[in-house]
Structure 1
């Protein structure tokens, strides 16, 4: 069964083709991605209307590119999947509209996918796919969550951010340091040149006794420190970046270990853009190795939003029988859609 996946929730247009017909984990046949970073850079953040218009321009050329990579044709597609939410409403509508129009023209069923479920299941596309059950650390954009995952569609929320997410803390702190957009990767790169112990920044909720997160206070502390440095900010910027990264990573690490202890599980999945952070991977790998815990990540090029994770999530939901594709080509989108609202009922 060939599943075409279309991702358009924010500022990346992704299309991918997955073969779910054979035994085992579905196989990725091809994927293509266009990032809008350069377009939004001038504005210091994503402009929703510009994002939507760019998705319209990109989605069909990317679809043709994926089919070329896979050596397949449009009539061979058996299901068209798309991101239904969460995300920017206008951007979501582009992907949903194209997917449903394509499905209707081919007479093939369509399936709306939860964006975060796509991230959650993206490590199954890697060389070392996980096995259920596991604890998942989702660190994608405005989302930071810990989930207990028993199977496809069976998710229990263990903890989540009560204000800024980890990705937002990276981006907003980088902006305060004048590192531009997108700030997270720039901050992490600069941090490699700095001293992580230079500034004593807070670790919010580190000892709260629960699995919730909070990064707004850290952002405020970075702002305060930057103002204190004044003219000395430029020569100390790498130290401030390193200290900021260390604070974020320590919170993510300690909360993940607490979730593993609480659940008694020995497998951790890390997914989402922040999951590509080198320091986070190093510290999680070291800490989990001491505890006999296996850690699984998506491939680096699949950490950001992409069509492959949408096609994979759709294929896995269909294979597990927790959702059926349909030929009702009327569609809606869900800009706000908690992951734990997904039902495992067929």
Structure 2
């Protein structure tokens, strides 16, 4: 659906060229919610603006739905841009227009007939839950309500792709969750491909299917959210993972020498099974849970635990084998070991 091949972007700052994006390769499947996460200055906003060519790449190619946007003339590019909606961090609403009129604005620019515009605006107001506030001006709306208007406006021309540039960064946690639920619902009902730019782990783990970690203009990790964040390989990814909390050996008291300390990761159905009690029943080894939790990334359950095995050495090795057979990733650690899974 969206392909970036060798996309680089340079800006001239203080008379010299500064590379903000460096050889980005991405393949975003149709219908997915794709997260791009990175710290401030990593190049996230530049990357998302290269997807719709609001920023033209210095080099490389951007293909959306089979069309190479980087080779289109201005008129054809404008036509293709109408198929790419964009939601902004600070809403960018017109203060002199009501909620309904803000949503209608891109349809006016696109030349839609008045009655067709009216029907589309009504449909979108109901979709985002703002029908009763249709005649309110932005100054009378809360931050979450303004973002709902922004989402409806982006959806108005019936785009195939929705780009969200830090769409929840200006919102409180409760409002953020409601906006994320709305985006996930839109993705399910419309099959819309979404690219979500963020620096917040919660946003990615709540709604995204895949994620790319951006650092200093380069992608340092990419894949399924559960794979990238539960077993991170790059230090930047590990740093983001620490935001999630979970099992960490740093604050554990000393473990007796005859106990074996393990870090266990379960993904999918295995996270919901009573695996530790099954191990005890089958081996006689007591599994002492020192730390852990079960949570979800989008719809996928996962559990992260630190446990101590108490029992004969041979039985403990059998217990580890059973854990692995039941779907756990297992790693032996020391009580002062690293806090990240992986």
Pick the structure with more strand per residue: 2
- Name which one, 1 or 2, has greater alpha-carbon Rg: 2
TM-score, structure 1 normalization: 0.27
